Amino acid sequence: MERVITVSSSAPLRAVLLKAAGSPRLRSMAEHSALTRPVVRRFVAGDTLDDALAVAHDLAVDRYVSLDHLGENTLDRAGAFETTGAYLALLHRLAGEGLTDRVEVSVKLSALGQALPGDGPAVATDNAAKICAAAAEIGTTVTVDMEDHTTTDATLETVRALRRDWPATGAVLQAYLHRTEADCAALAGPGSRVRLCKGAYAEPASVAYQDRAAVDESYRRCLRLLMEGEGYPMVATHDPALIALAVRMGGELRAGRDFELQMLHGVRPSAQRELAADGHRLRVYLPYGSAWFPYFMRRLGERPANLAFFLRSFTTRG
Ligand SMILES: Cc1cc2nc3c(=O)[nH]c(=O)nc-3n(C[C@H](O)[C@H](O)[C@H](O)COP(=O)(O)OP(=O)(O)OC[C@H]3O[C@@H](n4cnc5c(N)ncnc54)[C@H](O)[C@@H]3O)c2cc1C
């Protein structure tokens, strides 16, 4: 197994990186710079659907994949419909290339119009329904990503609505939120697919644990609730201690009932291959598209050591 270097928590730097993720100026500068591409490519399959499918084919040899068309916080209707169209095109290609037994899709409701003034949540739900219908038709599933805490209730409401017609629609819960244990209990019913992650946004102390140890403790409690439940837990973490715990709990609590491990593309790839080779179902979250900046900045926020490589890419061509 590869050596994991744990970077000590750098909360102020992480806060700066997550704030920068929302800057339109930085975003435009970075997304238009050819110099950043090699560094970004570690986490993002590429700009086009062809790029994404090429990487998905490689990963699908020993792993499962959830493809994400990058984009978030759309503030115009046309953009939301365009993103929906991109997902429909993606699903069409997955079917054509025989990938539907290994590859599903992840969607962000803010890319489907959730933040539009007035009827945003309804627009996003309608758009997500089109994607769920197309996915079901070709025999795959959709997981609805979770974004910042101001959207949690609306997102879970949309997931509940989607599950009436497409019960396999996946939800995501974030262990850093105080509310998440209760949400895990509520979503641990039969057939409920739930991805549990730590959480990637800058959240205030009023709603989220700030301390890494408290987040990890919450993750362990939430994991137990999901593993004991009747649903399908999707354990999304790169944390070796939590992965070991999930594998142990899986053996003790889920005799014959499935669960899966999930990691992000580009993070601990050799651990991914080893877990898959050991017989674990391992799914890789694989984003693609040109709107990569906010996603990429969250990855830097998780491991500020990545920042040095990124900054160097602006100044060197090597
Ligand atoms: C499949 C998947 C889907 C996700 N979906 C969502 C979502 O919908 N909403 C949401 O808020 N968050 C999502 N996340 C992100 C998640 O919330 C965390 O921010 C992220 O996974 C880092 O937490 P960790 O559990 O890996 O633990 P950490 O304690 O952050 O990391 C553990 C170890 O993993 C390695 N590592 C972690 N991140 C990186 C990185 N970026 N670069 C290099 N090494 C790294 C390091 O070795 C680190 O020591 C998702 C994560 C995964 C794996």
The tens digit of pLDDT for each residue in 35-45 reads 677 788 999 99
Asked if the model's pLDDT at residue 154 lies above 80, the reply is yes
How many Å lie between the centroid of ligand 1 and the Cα of residue 241? 13
- Of 63, 193, 195, 268, the active-site residue reads 195
Q: Mutual orientation of helices 240-253 and 212-228 as an angle, nearest 10°?
A: 20
Residue 219 CA: which ligand 1 atom is closest?
25
Among 64-68, 183-187, 298-302, the minimum mean pLDDT is found in 298-302
Mean pLDDT across the stretch 216-241? 97
Token pair of 70 as six digits? 């990058």
Give catalytic status of residue 145 as yes or no.
Answer: yes
Active site residue 119: no
Ligand 1 pocket by Cβ (under 6 Å): 4, 6, 145-146, 172, 174, 195, 197-201, 236-239, 262-264, 267-268, 285, 299, 302-303, 306
Which among 63, 68, 145, 268 is annotated as catalytic? 145
Percent of the chain with pLDDT over 90: 76
- Rounded to whole angstroms, how far apart are CA atoms 57 and 171? 25
Distance 118 CA to ligand 1 centre (A): 33
Residue nearest to ligand 1 atom 25, measured at CA: 237
Q: Tell me which of 38-52, 79-93, 225-239 is least confident.
A: 38-52
Q: Compute, in angstroms, the gap from residue 137 CA to the centroid of ligand 1.
A: 31
User: pTM (2 decimals)?
Assistant: 0.93
* Ligand 1, atom nearest to 7 Cα: 49
As a whole number, the mean pLDDT across the chain is 92
Cα(193)–Cα(64) distance, rounded to whole angstroms? 15
- Beta carbons of 44 and 288 less than 8 angstroms apart: yes
Kindly tell me if the per-residue pLDDT of 247 is higher than 60: yes
| Cβ within 8 Å of residue 186, ≥6 positions away | none
Check: CB of residue 236 under 8 Å from CB of residue 262. Answer: yes
- What residue owns the CA closest to ligand 1's atom 21? 237
Q: In this structure, what DSSP letter does residue 170 have?
A: B
pLDDT number for residue 303: 83
pLDDT value for 27: 82
For residue 18, the model assigns a pLDDT of 84
**pLDDT (0 to 100) of residue 35:** 67
Q: In terms of pLDDT, which residue wins out, 315 or 11? A: 11
Structure tokens given for 3: 């050596």
Q: How confident is the model at residue 2 (pLDDT cuts 50, 70, 90)?
A: very low
Pair type for strands 142-144 and 171-174: unpaired
